[in-house]
Chains A and B, each alone.
Chain A
Amino acid sequence: MKSPVITAQDLSVRVDGREILHKVSMAVQPAEIVTIVGPNGSGKSTFLRALIGAVPLASGRVERAPGLRIGYVPQKLALDSALPITVRRFLSLPRRISDDRVTDAMSRAGVPGLESRQMTDLSGGQFQRVLLARAILERPQLLLLDEATQGLDQPGAAAFYQRIEEVRRDLGCAVVMVSHDLHVVMAASDRVLCLNGHICCEGAPEVVADAPEYRALFGTGTKGTLALYRHQHSHRHDADCEHDHSHGAD
């Protein structure tokens, strides 16, 4: 097995005295697609932000492969209309990026030719794709996506994930994404990680979908998630998970 691009070891995060993440450990292999699912308030976004170093760790550590280039697509990017900025300028921040690179990334992300448009004039789908283009500009070895399809309709989201798979195939980067589009995402993932403050269960999509911890969180019929999976076992709760599996209020 190759050495992982990024490793989280017993990572805990506290925000205002409340423990958001408790001893989360995971490693991402090169070119692997890992999806993180979990209810609202389960710490999914916090986990991604901890990986890029945006939140202080209460304990544990994050190890990156030497010289690791990370592309990041944030959950929400509310651009203030008081700030005029073209797509081209947005992509050239904070470092100047050559025209060739921009053109290449824009076409890979599926939004060629939008360079001179204002960011605030873009449609939701275009905006997300420009964010993706930005994330892959410097040919990252690791792509982190935090609910990147928020605000997209289902065909839009499906097309977006297809783009991601293409990007992974062409650039060979590992992908870690947080998502709510369970069925689409799980089908596209190599590995699924079910998070609720800690890692409830993880493994191949079929395995996780069958795991009692996962079912306790998402039920058996949510959003047609399990339509992908033929055999449904009877619902049961295992006792090997010490905490409450209620849908977190956030």
Chain B
Amino acid sequence: MEFEENIKVAIRGLIDHKFRSFLTMLGIIFGVASVIAMLSIGEGAKRQAIAKYQDLGVNNIIVRDKELSNEELEEVRAKFSLGLSINDANVIKEIVPGVVDVAPQAEKDSEIKFADKSSKSTIIGITPSFIEILNYEAEKGTFINEDHCTRNLKVCVLGAGVVKTLFQNQDPLGKMVKIDDQWLEVIGVMKTKALFTETVGELASRDLNNDVYVPLSTFNKRFEFENKLSSEIKQITVKVKGSEHLIETAGLIRGILNRHHYNNDDFSIVIPYELLKQEEKERRIYNILLGAIAAISLIVGGIGIMNIMLATVIERTREIGIRRAIGARKTDILSQFITEAVAISITGGLIGIFLGVSLSLGISLLTDVSTFIRVYSVIIAFGFSVIVGISFGYLPAKNAANLKPIESIRYE
């Protein structure tokens, strides 16, 4: 018996019983679709997390000034702490072993204006080390460089969100924008960044796309904090050599800063890499759970196939008897029925892949859950549907092959 003939018979069987075949496939369709959709949600979450932490730097430790109310600030200052300062940054770099570089940054919320439009933004003053540590690059124009810093130039680089609000379709490069009472030239535009839609450790959630970068020297010289008690520096990004000793290094930094701040708990330390690892761990359990649910629906789909195939074998007893009488071997009958089961499961699998891909695209378009379909997940889902077809088709096919030719040919 030729394989080609088996496939023809199987496909004709599917077409002859369209509705029944469709109902039989339904379990596989939903099973495969849910495997793909769930894996794509898991993958999407993973990629979003990695992108988020990549913006913070995987080998970095972040020290950030705590958001304090006015009373708290007054209390802390009364207890001699000046908050984060450039000095803190320098001390960390000098004393803590394994620290490659430190990048202090000052921040202030201001309105940035161009023509009749304005945008609420975070103005961030940075030093050349910031560029070294975080590998920020402008998508258009240039990023802040050492020359801008040493010469206190009145230049700025805009986040993608700011550009969208202020310039719409105009080219912002070379334009002058007004921040507080200062005019600055736009020299670069950042590309769109992953949003911090949730807090990362002790870092508050915010939209990085509304950031405006200026040289720290310019920031200190041209802008003033509204609150005179504000710390000099909002954040210090510490780059560490290798990721093995991040926790110990962070402990050292905490110790040193506690001493400098007279134990005024006014800063927090975040290790993005540790958070990433922890998040991955939590996600793994979640993914296993989702995968198990999808696998169960595939198995249920397989049982559906087996059920129909068992009925089909009884319905076609006579046909099996005829085929056996004219020379079909048991293996011919076996492979014919397994081929039919696999044809059902493969067709269901293909429809399921289509549905699963549409589903995950739909989810990422219509909700803020991001999804990503990896080729391997499609292969896994499809492979699973083939395996389900073979394993759940085997028993009915075996039944068919074991029918006695004399009895089945007289079966009414």
Whether A associates with B in a native complex is no
